[in-house]
Amino acid sequence: MKPLHYLTLVLLILALVIAFVPQNTTRPYKLTAEQLLAEIRTGTQFVSPDEVADKIIQKDPSIQLIDVRNPREFEMFSLPGAVNIPLQDILSEGNTDVLNQGTKMNILYSNGSTEANEAWLLTRQLGYQNNYVLQGGLNYWMETILSPSKPGGVISNDEIARYDFRKAASMALGGGDVHASAAAPAASSAAPKPGVVPVKKKKKASGGC
């Protein structure tokens, strides 16, 4: 999907989130719609499937994959090491220490980009800064990493290198036998939540009237 299409999709999601998310009275939102729009235009929330695949293969301890789909979909298939925080539970107090912390780079994903972007928008409205979105979601992951197509015609050295990497990543991550509609067991379904360092909360001043 082209960057312009991603921007259009995210702008539509932003409008829906602003329109339908109920008033937050316990944890006030910290970013305005204008601030969110400025961040969306940069597209810096997206992490490419190639980068995520490399981090998974390298067993990079700095990332945490968060599946925002429902538990049934998570049980059918999930990325290695992912934890499940369904979109409807993003604002739950029990997930604050995972989503608002300074140790892990959280990478949110869903089947496409819609639900993961909604989750990202909610966390950004709350001021959380270490959450990102897997570009294209699992659908694009299946297409580019697990079932890469060999480029045709005259191709550059960069395209050859990218295809070679994706082919190797596919073999390392079980590509070829997994498809978007397949019911594959989730290796991460029983994985514990990551060890994270919560952002320190400001202490209330003692005394008072």
Q: What domains can you pick out in the chain, each with its CATH number?
A: 3-142 (3.40.250.10)
Nearest-5° angle of CA 179, CA 185, CA 187? 110
Q: How far is CA 37 from the centre of its chain?
A: 18
Please say whether the beta carbons of 65 and 109 come within 8 A.
Answer: yes
Please say whether the beta carbons of 80 and 188 come within 8 A.
Answer: yes
Say if residue 112 is exposed, middle or buried (CB neighbours under 10 Å; 0-12, 13-18, 19+). middle
% of residues, the chain, pLDDT over 90: 56
Q: How far is CA 77 from the centre of its chain?
A: 15
pLDDT tens profile 4-30: 555 555 555 555 555 444 444 455 667
Please say whether the beta carbons of 180 and 139 come within 8 A.
Answer: yes
Over 70: is that where the pLDDT of 135 sits?
yes
Q: Model pTM?
A: 0.72
